[in-house]
A and B are shown apart, each in its own frame.
Chain A
Amino acid sequence: MHGLINRAVQSFVCLTYGRDRWQRVMRATGLDFVEFEGMLTYDDAILGQVLEVLRQELDRPLDDILEDIGTFLVSHPEMQRLRRLLRFSGETYVDFLHSLDDLPDRARLAISDLKIPPLDLREFAAGCYCLSCGVGLPGFGRVLIGVLRAMADDYGALVTLQYVGSNGRQEQIAITLVNSAFAAGRSFDLGARTA
């Protein structure tokens, strides 16, 4: 598992619930470290361990936590960089949705060993989409819902999102675009300097 994914969970917990909470979680996992390094690789099982302890610590359903992680990744001020990288995908939320097919390749372009499950967007009626998410990253579908919701806010679009389910080979998310220009959205300056 790429350290960036573990690191994302760490950032979420630290910035949402505080460092102490994170340290408590990591101690409870029995691992002999507290910090994940974004540029290292970790055993796949570790993330599952961390999430299980986190679920108990926060006493919330794991799916909700995962969705919050997705929202956090796009909307938290500390995560500007990821939000910007996603906004490069297109001018509108619809552009963004259609660019999701490219997301794994985009991720790989930035960091060659960062593997994201394949995504496939189908439009089955005007404004009604189904996003299929391949396996490989357990819980990624739930995280995606959080990302899609936060990106809708970012573009000023009004959408409804529903987790349809998982058949073991892929997870499916239903997306209904109610209004693509519901609110002003956040501006995206192509040339902004990010420090």
Chain B
Amino acid sequence: MKPLDPRLLRYARAARAYLAGTVALSLATTVLVLAQAVLLARILADAFTGSGADARDFAFLAVVIALRGLVTYGGEATALRAAAKVKSQLRRALVEHALRLGPGRLRAPGEVATLAVRGLDALDAYFARYLPQLVLACVVPVAVLAVIFGADPLSAGVIAFTLPLIPVFMILVGLHTRARTERQWHLLERLGGHFLDVVEGLPTLKVFGRAKAQAAVIREVTDTHRRATMRTLRIAFLSALVLELLATLAVALVAVEVGLRLLHGGLPYETALIVLLLAPEAYQPLRNVGAQFHASMEGVTAAERVFEILETEAPDAASGDPGAEARLTLDGVTVRYPGRDVPALSDVTLEVEPGRRLVVIGPSGSGKSTLLGLFLRFVEPTEGRTGFGHVPAAEWRTGLSWVPQDPYLFAGSVADNIRLAAPDAGDDAVREAARLAGADFIDALPQGLRTPLGERGARLSSGQRQRIALARAFLRDAPVLLLDEPTAHLDAATAAGIRNTVERLMTGRTVVLVTHDHSWTATADRVAVIENGRLHVHDTLAAAS
């Protein structure tokens, strides 16, 4: 595994400054560690020989101690703040990019949300614990070894021999745990998705008396996760065991070796004390790196999943001459979805002239939604060309209004949800749009337009949700109107009322309406029938006769 993923520095700029600061603090720590050992040894040696305590040594020691406190505070504060900043930068990049990818390429929202909110938290361990220790592990052992070598080459030899074994073991064990940690992360992510799926489906499960049985499934999934994790940990902690053994045994060996050389008078007491005090310090950072290893791996894996999404390419930007006139046309357009044999649309040629109404009739799954997706620029043609592909997608959409089959309602008030279509609209405009859409039910809500809506509009019926979508379209007031089954969710009485309103909404606009409801053909200038991805355009009058 890479100790430091360069992509982390590329995507999270906060990580760069932090890394520099950590190096500086590590150098300061090294100097203080050495100074403390030397001063402690000198005071103890003076007491041993009975030469009396030196007040200056005690004063220096006090200064060193105070500085260590400061450096510790600084290091910890920088690390935790950097972690928060890096998480924020990665999270925002992730969500932004996911949105740029659009509905066509967006992964399961629950899993990405878990990654953005909970998954990235694992980076705390990486930044606040692992990375500083990694830098310390590069600086402290070298400095300590140099000092010990000057004092007692033999002890330096013991340490120099055992010290490199620690990273070697770390790498060996790390290679083994990496794949397992990744699998464990997948499991955790799936667990999040599974949990949400089951909780959302609770009403359905209860109707069929299956809700209680799912508790066993959740336990099984969780226990599988536990067993898999424990298997990983049994190996991962072996690294801790080996590292601990190497470090403590080496210190024990040094202590015994130094003791025996003292016994034979080959070493001054003060030097022996310096060696004994510094020997554990040589291993401490490496041991800490080992201890933080598996916790940090989770963070690295989470970051890698973020990079994976960030490196998925967003759909191509507009191509061609941006100055050319945009036309609502399709020319021999075929759309193929990855992994599907049958194209969703094949060789569709179509023109909707400004101010005209096209009604597209077709059964479920015939390609109606893909057709609208082309106009909305959610879907790009696999073959053929469109008359608007040269306009940047965002600019093209400013002239569109869309009434989806299943509108999404956001956490926020009713007014906020309508205002989605025109962020700067005033309250009166929103109220008027709601009135035009026949959304009278809003008046009956406890706080009217200000009533908060639960996620995905849990408090509204399908009909009421559809009316919010219609209100958005009224507020949007765009020249091109795309409608997907505008009355499918409404009962006959309301549908009849809404139909007049939709008629009014369509007046003076270019309209593409897809539906399975043939009655809409009465309002069309032209009718197209879509079946198995193939489109046949008819003139209504001719068709009717």
Tell me whether A and B are bound partners.
no
Q: Using CB atoms and an 8 Å cutoff, list the residues of chain B in contact with chain A.
A: none
